[in-house]
Each structure stands twice: as C-alpha cells, then as structure tokens.
Amino acid sequence: MTKLTQTCLSKSHLPLALLATLLSGCMIVAPVPEPAPAVVVATPAPAAKVVVAEPAPVVKAAPAAKVVAKPAATPVAKPGARTVVAAKAPRAYPVIIFTGHAKWEPKADALQTQVDQGPDFNDHYKVARLSCGAGCWDNFIINTDTGYILDEIQSCGSAEYSLYSDVINIPVRPSKHGQCRMVSYKVEGDVVIRL
C-alpha cells in the first residue's frame, strides 16, 4: 500500500480513503479495527459493610384535586351586534361582459371599478349601482366569477342585500308617479327571479 492509502484508511479519513481507492481503480476494502489488548489487574475486594437503615416516616398524600375541562364557549352574536367576517384574499376579477346590455358599455369603467372591489351579494355576485337621475338608480347584478351581467333593475332607493344571502330587496316604483315599494328577488343559477 502507498503511504497516502495507508494514511487515508484511518477512521478519521475514511471518506478520503474511499475517494483515493475509487480514483486509483483499486478495490475498496473497509479497514478492520484492531482489538485493544486485554489488561488484567488484580485488586482485593473491599470488605462488606453492614448498614442498618431506619424506616422512613409515612406521610399521607393530600387527595388529588379533580380537574374538569370545560368546553370552550361558542361565541353567539347578540341581535344588532356587529360581527367581523374574514376578508377573502385579493384576486383579479373578470372583465364585464355586456351581452344583452350594450347600452351600458359607455359606463364600463364605472361598473368595472365596483366589480373589482369583490362580491357583496350571495357570495359571488356584485350589486353595482349607477345613478340614472334624481332618485333613480340602476342596480346591476354581476357574477364576479364570469363577468356576466345577470340583470339590471331600476330602483328608487337603496337596495338591501348581504354577502351570504341569495335574496335582494330593491325598492321599485310600479309606475312613473307611484310610490316606492320593496320587491324581493332571488338568484338561482345565474338567473334573477322576482319573488
């Protein structure tokens, strides 16, 4: 064996030994450690000592306290209390598709700005509002997943709706000079149905 191979075969350089043998094209042989020489030392046995231990005093333990885990109370919102709803992660909303509503294309920027704020009705619809005169509003129900306008309903006041409800209440005027009255609509499968 060469001096390098002998040096590399020590325990601390085993990876180098493997590398050296691989590079030299030799067979890899794992080193076998030599057994340590046996040393026998005769010592006299110590004399046994007898120790008598006194019994330890008996102490009674206090009874263990009972621990009862109470289930966590579920918070219940009181009527009229404000509740916090986790916001959805921001995402890009589709461009509005004006099929059947071409007359509103000039207002596309105003509607798109409202759609980009996210859904506010029935979890994935946006109620976008544009003024159509004094005391008149156009309410557009737009699917925020597809960009399609489902319906456009004129109202004479503010519509009532929520993010997790599929019913929208819109005050409408039955005739030009009639009184405003609330009309309910429901969205089922991208179809607006008057109730």
All structural domains of the chain with their residue ranges = 1-32, 102-194
Which pLDDT score, from 0 to 100, does residue 54 have? 62
Q: What are the DSSP E strand ranges found in the chain?
A: 125-133, 136-143, 149-155, 167-172, 181-188, 191-194
- Identity (one letter) of the amino acid at 83? T
113 has a pLDDT exceeding 90: yes
Query: Model pTM greater than 0.75?
Result: no
Q: How many CA atoms lie within 13 A of 51 on its CB side?
A: 6
Which pLDDT score, from 0 to 100, does residue 8 have? 45
Q: Are 138 and 110 in contact (CB under 8 A)?
A: no
Question: How much is the average pLDDT of 140-166?
Answer: 91
| Pick from 147, 149, 122, 124: nearest CA to 138 | 149
| Pick from 44, 20, 43: nearest CA to 31 | 20
Which pLDDT score, from 0 to 100, does residue 190 have? 86
Mean pLDDT of the chain: 73
**Band of residue 43 on the pLDDT scale cut at 50, 70, 90:** low
Q: Which residues of 69-105 are buried (b: 16+ CB within 10 A; e: fewer)?
A: eeeeeeeeeeeeeeeeeeeeeeeebeebebeebeebe
Cα of first residue to Cα of last residue in the chain, in angstroms, is 98
Question: How much is the average pLDDT of 128-146?
Answer: 89
Question: How much is the average pLDDT of 83-106?
Answer: 76
Which pLDDT score, from 0 to 100, does residue 41 have? 56
| Pick from 2, 192, 5, 20: nearest CA to 101 | 192
48 has a pLDDT exceeding 60: no
68 has a pLDDT exceeding 50: no
Question: How much is the average pLDDT of 91-109?
Answer: 86
13 has a pLDDT exceeding 60: no
17 has a pLDDT exceeding 80: no
66 has a pLDDT exceeding 80: no
| Pick from 90, 133, 97: nearest CA to 112 | 97
